[in-house]
Structure 1
Amino acid sequence: MTLEALIQGCKRKEANAQSELYKRYSGVLFGICLRYSPNRTEAEDNLQDAFITIFTKVEQFKEKGSFEGWIKRVTVNTVLQKYRKKRVFEIKEESQIEDVGEEEVFDEGFPLDFLLKIIQELPERYRLVFTMYVMDGYSHKEIAEMLGISDGTSKSNLARARGILKIKVVAFKK
């Protein structure tokens, strides 16, 4: 089935089209959910929530731009909405913000499962900002808008996430 036919089938709420869409994209979307979730079980729940949202809102896809890009954005927004409701972000005064350098935390080859594990162990507010900034390339302004926080809070949470990760990386090297 072509992508266009698949999308049209999903818009008509055809179960076979929805099943095929799930088979094609569940792997890549699960990877996104893993990065944003504290554990595999929650990532699985987030994936299911994302597909429910995708199937519900597929009519909104206007075939401008990439469909895969659209479903990735829907997935990220679905997961972030869950965390926004939890109010996991602490507000910091601008004077408390640490300077965030552009150096990468991981300068050597580390096992992927180790990296995912230590990222998932971060407190939610740090994990979300770290994932959005470092792994998905959002700016602090975009992160602030998406999470309903200030640019300064985004920068502060990124600095704290990097600090925690550096400590874990150093401990792993020893």
Structure 2
Amino acid sequence: MDKKTKEQKLIKGCRAGKAKYQQMLYELYYGKMFSVCLRYSRSREEAKDILHEGYMKVFAGIGQYKGDGSLEGWVRRIMVNTAINHYHKNKKLKDTFSIEEEYDEVAESDQLSEENVIQQMAYEDLLQIIRTLPPAYQTVFSLYAIEGYNHREIAEMLQISEGTSKSNLAKARKKLQKQVQVLLSQ
């Protein structure tokens, strides 16, 4: 049985509410989706909560999956949206800033090559550093640098201005650079 046929059988079983197929879907994407949730959370426990809530939404909404894109991409989008909703519920964007001038100033001071740093660090180390960011910075950084969204999309998702998104990203990068420099000098 080819991958597409297996996926269709899996979707059909999930739509029928069969626990066996739901478990298979859960296990199929668990690692990747847990990794996504970790990027938007302050702890592993919080990431697990987001993951479980996300999978509940996946199973409830599997009938809406049209098969246009990949199933994995559809599940990932639900996880990201669940993480953003979790963020809105718990943080209320209390530490966002909208000073665009600071963005320009910080952007010009970027000195570390992100590619070089990433090559030298383990994935867990990077996640640990990202988790130390204030929630607003962490969310914008993850959406932009990891998930690949642009500032317009981030602004719409988080209900902030594009300038705020740019500012939060620049400040996140500056904080991350300082923490990475400290870590690499040890």
Smaller-chain TM-score bracket:
over 0.9
**Structure 1 position 87, deviation (Å):** 1.3
**C-alpha deviation, 1:93, in angstroms:** 4.1
Work out which of the residue numbers 117, 125, 142 in structure 1 matches 2:136.
Answer: 125
Percent of matched pairs sharing the same residue:
40
What is the TM-score normalised by the length of structure 2?
A: 0.87
Q: Aligned partners of 2:143 and 2:113: how far apart in 1?
A: 14
Give the counterpart of 2:164 among 128, 153, 174.
153
Q: Output one character per residue of 1:30-64: Cα deviation in whole Å (capped at 9) or x when no partner.
A: 01011111111111111101101101111110111
- TM-score normalised according to structure 1 size: 0.92
The unaligned stretches of length 5 or more in structure 1 are none
Whether contact under 8 Å (1:105, 1:162) holds in the other structure is no
User: One-letter code of the match for 2:35?
Assistant: G
1:25 aligns with 2:29: yes
State the partner residue of 2:10: 6
Moved more, 77-86 or 25-34: 77-86
* Higher normalized helix content (fraction of residues): 2
| 2:103 pairs with 1:92 | no
- Indicate the residue corresponding to 2:146 in structure 1: 135
1:104-123 matched pairs, under 5 angstroms: 104-105=113-114, 107-108=116-117, 109-123=120-134
CA contact (8 A) 1:105 1:165 kept: no
Q: Aligned with 2:38: secondary structure? A: helix
Alpha-carbon separation, structure 1, partners of 2:29 and 2:87: 23
Per-residue deviation, 1:91:
4.5
Distance in 2, matches of 1:93 and 1:69, equals: 34
Shift of 1:172: 1.1
Partner deviation per Cα, 1:128-174 (whole Å, 9 max, x = no partner): 10011111111000100111111000000001101111111111122
The 1:112/1:96 distance shift into structure 2, 3 A limit, reads closer
| Structure 1 counterpart of 2:181 | 170
Number of residue pairs the alignment of both structures matches: 174
Supply the distance in 2 between the matched residues of 1:135 and 1:65 (Cα, whole angstroms): 20
Report the alpha carbon displacement of residue 96 of structure 1 after superposing the two structures with TM: 4.5
Give me the whole-angstrom Cα distance separating, in 1, the residues matched to 2:13 and 2:45. 30
User: Would you say the 8 A contact 1:119–1:165 is kept in 2?
Assistant: yes
Q: Residues of 2 paired with 1:150 and 1:29: CA distance?
A: 28
Q: Quote the Cα distance in structure 2 between the aligned partners of 1:137 and 1:104.
A: 18
